[in-house]
Amino acid sequence: MDHIPQMDHLPQNNISKESNKMQKVVVVIPAFNESNNIIQIIKDTKKYAFEVIVVDDGSTDNTLQKALSTDAKVLRNRRNCGKGVALKKGLIESINYDPDIIVTIDADGQHDPHDIPNLLEPIQNGSADMVIGSRYITKKINEVPLVRRVGLSIINMLNHSLENTTVKDTQSGFRAYSKSVIKVITNSDSRGYGAENEQLAEAETHGFSIVEVPVNIKYGGLENTSKKHPFFHGTHLVSIILKIAIEKRPLLFFGLGGVILIIISLLPMIKMLIIFNETRYFSIPLFLISMGLIFIGILLIMISFILYALNRIKRKLDR
């Protein structure tokens, strides 16, 4: 996908609750220890949804009890399985309602449910299959805490360079999907926060149209919105990005790596020949190093072709 259009201003949208119900908008809310926010989030999202599905991911506070006190559909993981698992569970459940549009929103209070109509509009007017609520096309990016802003910049840079995506806010969990996208994005198998990366990669691989719209993100006055240490969170995201990049471009990562190793193998081989020419001594260690590099290089090249062929078969089966 060469270009992702962006909307620079919050669009005015007069879509009523009744209109959204007719269009069957289903909202999925993964939640873990969000007892302070969950009721208000449900109440606000319900204004724009035919159904709200809350997936309690093994909360240890009373998030589950508060969610059950509302008229939302509530699912529960008996233990904390990770955001990716909760999201997937909610998205699969949403299919039972035969929705036209599915929205995902975090339960930590950072996202404003009243921005939902802005996410719906590009899908409703046929200009997008997937919409991402982005903090990078608003005028408030400087309000993001410095540590988080730096971390997000690094993750986004890796996404752009390794996965070749032009989406600016790859980590946003505030998204809307047309029903045609759901089958594809539920193929993601990340258990944690890398699920959003996998969903984006799957949607781009299958050629779905993606746009970003500006949304309001709240940082002040909230409890710690991250349930995971920043180092482990970042490490997990980097591993997911590398995994996706390798799966999408095996010829580049494995094939090129193999060619580089074969070229490097020439160095000990040349050194061995120089020594032999001068002293008639045949260096077995240098020979073994050279042959080992050649063997690994050829193996990587073979793996790259196998993965490339498997990817092509998978894409054909998914069509």
pLDDT tens digit string along 256-301? 899 999 999 999 999 999 999 999 999 999 999 999 999 999 999 9
The Cα–Cα gap between 42 and 27 comes to 9
Helices (H), 107-194: 116-124, 146-162, 179-185
Q: What is the mean pLDDT of residues 107-130?
A: 93
When pLDDT is cut at 50, 70 and 90, the band that residue 317 belongs to is low
pLDDT tens digit string along 161-214? 555 677 888 888 899 999 889 888 887 777 666 778 888 888 888 889 999 999
Residues 39 and 12 sit within 8 Å (Cβ to Cβ): no
pLDDT tens digit string along 41-65? 999 999 999 999 999 999 999 999 9
For tokens 């990340």, the residue is 190
Instruction: Give the start-to-end residue ranges of the domains of the chain.
Output: 17-248, 250-318
Report how far apart, in Å, the C-alpha atoms of 38 and of each of 20, 24, 86, 232 are.
21, 22, 15, 26
* Level-2 CATH architecture, domain 17-248: Alpha-Beta Complex (3.90)
What H or E segment, with its residue span, contains residue 288?
helix 284-318
Question: In the chain, pLDDT over 90 holds for what percent of residues?
Answer: 49
Q: Which of 35-49, 56-70, 106-120, 231-245 has the lowest mean pLDDT?
A: 231-245
What H or E segment, with its residue span, contains residue 239?
helix 230-248
Residues 84 and 94 sit within 8 Å (Cβ to Cβ): no
pTM above 0.85, yes or no: no
